[in-house]
């Protein structure tokens, strides 16, 4: 791994063992384009032409993909990039990637009946002075009020909802095939989902696809590390 990847760990984001999540910490100061060939990772032309930080984040994300896929039994697979920058997974695999300036995560699992998609996202905390200015573009007042009983600061509540919606969009993209705005899904509070434990409930005010009908509710999970929220949304057809 050299000095670029500073730490690797599996992450327990979703209940059960069906979804494998790996996180990589990286130090951009040690990034080199030669690492792509060393690790057998293809750098797409669009990424080759991007700034150094983008090339480093992409590499770390694809390295996390390699770890997760190897744990799934699929070795040396380089995850490509498709329309709207969507990852191109091996046949029969469902996954998602997220990264920030110093970490990357990848989630994978086998496609099976009832699974629509999976999405993960990591977001740094929105600054306290910024949150009020952008809140209306992310969530309605009633969505934010549902977190009041936990007495979270406004910026933390907004960051969590923002990240959960981003995870939902990633999970829904293969079915919807287009970008969604933040009104496409609504945060409806916390609820128990049988053996899945507590989750964030995300409700669709209108149908997005035949597999994502109006009124359907889907689960989101989260944890906080450092000054970031990591969320994951698993879309199931029987939700």
Does residue 68 contact residue 109 with C-beta atoms inside 8 Å? no
Q: What is the DSSP-derived secondary structure letter of residue 125?
A: P
Per the listing, tokens 């590499």 go with 59
Q: In sequence order, which residues have a C-beta less than 8 Å from that of residue 100 and are 6 or more positions away?
A: 57, 122, 123, 124, 228
Instruction: Compare 148 and 110 and report the one with higher pLDDT.
Output: 110
CA distance 148 to 122: 22
Q: How many CB atoms lie within 10 A of CB 217?
A: 14
Q: What CATH number was assigned to the domain covering residues 5-112? A: 3.90.470
pLDDT for 198 equals 67
Q: In sequence order, which residues have a C-beta less than 8 Å from that of residue 124 and are 6 or more positions away?
A: 100, 159, 227, 228
Strands (E), the chain: 5-11, 20-26, 80-81, 87-88, 93-99, 103-110, 115-124, 186-192, 198-203, 217-225, 228-236
pLDDT in tens, 117-163: 999 999 999 999 999 999 999 998 888 888 765 667 889 989 999 99
Cβ-based burial of 204 (10 A; exposed 0-12, middle 13-18, buried ≥19):
buried
Q: In sequence order, which residues have a C-beta less than 8 Å from that of residue 16 and are 6 or more positions away?
A: 195, 196
Give me the architecture of the 118-236 domain, per CATH.
Alpha-Beta Complex (3.90)
Token representation of residue 145: 């009020």
- 5-112 matches 118-236 in fold: yes
Token representation of residue 122: 């990591």
CA distance 77 to 87: 12
pTM over 0.75? The answer is: yes
CA distance 70 to 9: 14
Distances (CA, A) of 128 to 69, 103, 228: 38, 23, 14
pLDDT for 144 equals 84
pLDDT for 75 equals 81
pLDDT for 186 equals 95
Each domain of the chain, given as residue ranges in start order, spans 5-112, 118-236
pLDDT in tens, 189-239: 887 655 555 688 999 999 999 999 999 999 899 988 878 999 999 998 864
CA dihedral 28, 33, 37, 39 (to 10 degrees): 0
Compute the mean pLDDT over every residue in the chain, rounded to the nearest whole number.
Answer: 90
pLDDT for 151 equals 67
- In sequence order, what are the beta bridge partners of 38? none
């Amino acid at each position: 791994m050299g000095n670029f990847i500073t730490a690797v760990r599996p992450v327990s984001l979703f209940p059960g063992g069906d979804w494998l999540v790996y996180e990589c910490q990286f130090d951009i100061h040690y990034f080199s384009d030669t690492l792509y060939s060393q690790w057998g990772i293809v750098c797409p032309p669009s990424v080759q032409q991007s700034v150094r930080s983008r090339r480093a984040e992409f590499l770390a994300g694809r390295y996390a993909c390699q770890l997760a896929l190897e744990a799934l039994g699929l070795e040396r697979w380089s995850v490509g990039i498709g329309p709207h920058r969507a990852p191109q997974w091996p046949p029969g695999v469902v996954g998602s990637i997220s990264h920030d300036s110093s970490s990357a995560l990848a989630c994978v699992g086998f496609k099976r009946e009832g699974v629509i998609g999976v999405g993960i996202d990591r977001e740094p905390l929105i600054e306290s002075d910024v949150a009020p200015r952008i809140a209306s573009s992310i969530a309605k007042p009633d969505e934010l009020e549902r977190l009041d009983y936990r007495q979270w600061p406004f910026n933390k509540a907004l960051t969590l909802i923002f990240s959960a919606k981003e995870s939902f969009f990633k999970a829904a993209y293969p079915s919807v095939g287009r970008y969604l705005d933040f009104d496409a899904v609504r945060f409806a509070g916390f609820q128990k989902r049988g053996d899945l434990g507590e989750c964030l409930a995300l409700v669709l005010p209108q149908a997005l696809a035949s597999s994502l009908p109006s009124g359907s509710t889907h689960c989101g999970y989260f944890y906080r590390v450092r000054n970031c929220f990591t969320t994951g949304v698993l879309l199931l057809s029987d939700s």
